[in-house]
Chains A and B, each alone.
Chain A
Amino acid sequence: EVQLVQSGGGLIQPGRSLRLSCAASGFTFDDYVIHWVRQVPGKGLEWVSGINWNENNIAYADSVKGRFTISRDNAKNSLYLQMNSLRAEDMALYYCVKENYWGAFDIWGQGTMVTVSS
């Protein structure tokens, strides 16, 4: 079964750091671009960051640029999001998402909630 299983969310104080992880299975991980997308509960979807197979094409939303770092370990079939200097506005449900060959987002993780609060 093709799936993405996420871990690493939780309650964190403003200004602190948190790392999200996403474990892939059921497909050849290093064949695909992978993204992080977030969603404030009850609101819309916001693309956060994406990374190609060899990490030489990486992009971030302006809202997280300079604070978040995306990375991947193809040997471990895993994607990561290092989130530093967290703010209240970063509080959201974060999804790990696989891109298909055409660029659409075909496989979504279950989501992990990040709560930023003192």
Chain B
Amino acid sequence: EIVMTQSPATLSASPGERATLSCRASQSFSNNLAWYQQKPGQAPRLLIYGASTRATGIPARFSGSGSGTEFTLTISSLQSEDFAVYYCQQYYNWPKTFGQGTKLEIK
């Protein structure tokens, strides 16, 4: 099983700032990595797949990068609606494991 580790657990930032979230995999794979956003009381929403491809309707301020074991989600200029919990997930093999999440909170 591939273990996904996200950091930091909590990130405090202000609207307009840039946010960088990290995800590390316990074994290497190419780009089978997704990012999800979850707001309270809602199901997760796919943001990024293929490590860097934005899902339908996702604003350009969200970008993903990385390969191998190190991946990054960057939000270029935080909007109020971006404060949420973010999860990474590998879908290179089964089980399709998630990271433990990063809570992005308003500073």
Contact = CB atoms under 8 A, between A and B. Distances in A.
Contact of B46 (A47, A95, A104, A110): A104
Interface of B: 32, 34, 36, 38, 43-46, 49-50, 55, 87, 89, 91, 94-101
Contacts of B101: 44-45
Interface of B: prevailing SS = loop
A108 B37 CA distance: 12
Contacts of B43: 95, 108-111
B91 to A, nearest CB: 4
A39 B98 CA distance: 11
Contacts of B55: 104, 106
Given A103-B32, A106-B46, A44 B100 contact: yes
A35 interface: yes
A105 interface: yes
Nearest to B41: A111
Interface residues on A, range: 20 to 34
Contacts of A46: 98
A59 interface: yes
A106 B35 CA distance: 11
7 contacts: A44-B99, A44-B101, A50-B94, A95-B44, A104-B34, A105-B91, A108-B44
Contacts of A103: 32, 49, 91, 96
Contact of A102 (B36, B49, B95, B98): B49
Contacts of A35: 96
Most chain B beta-carbon neighbours within 10 Å: one of A46, A59, A106: A106
A98 B22 CA distance: 25
A13 interface: no
A109 B44 CA distance: 9
A3 B58 CA distance: 18
Contact of B44 (A45, A50, A61): A45
B95 A100 contact: no
Contacts of A111: 43
Contacts of B32: 102-103
A110 B99 CA distance: 21
